[in-house]
Amino acid sequence: MNFVSKLRHDENVRLDPDRLVALYAELGEAGAERLIGAAMEELAVRIALVQQAAQAGQVDRLGPAVEKLHELAEQVGMQALARVGRDVLNCAQANDGAGVAATVARLVRIGDRSLTAVWDLQDMTI
């Protein structure tokens, strides 16, 4: 008899509220919302680029995409996403194919949850 286990990846994603408050204080409500909106769009693009590069085995394309993703994630308080981006880079630099695949999959999961968390915050007052 064969058994198949399905692992459920369920990680909490937490945004850095201090970073978001600082953005609103620095840029005002309209400026912060424009910056965050632009960052969300760019993060979605970068996540897709990282995923495509990893699936195509183009490790040389990972670096620039992940570095920009890391910068944007830190800018808007997505610490978990920034940290996982670094993990992808570390695996790529170590030529760890399985590690790259695993960390890119995690990056996609964390990215989706992080983007959703920010979109949910848009309905709240900071």
Per the prediction, the chain carries an average pLDDT of 87
Other Cβ atoms closer than 10 A to 39: 20
Whether the pLDDT of residue 70 is over 90: the answer is yes
Distances (CA, A) of 45 to 7, 12, 24, 50, 106: 27, 22, 24, 9, 16
Among the ranges given (14-18, 20-24, 25-29, 30-34), the one the predictor scored with the smallest mean pLDDT = 14-18
pLDDT for 121 equals: 65
CA angle (108 as vertex; 50, 10 as ends), nearest 5: 160
How confident is the model over 91-111, as pLDDT tens digits? 999 999 999 999 999 999 999
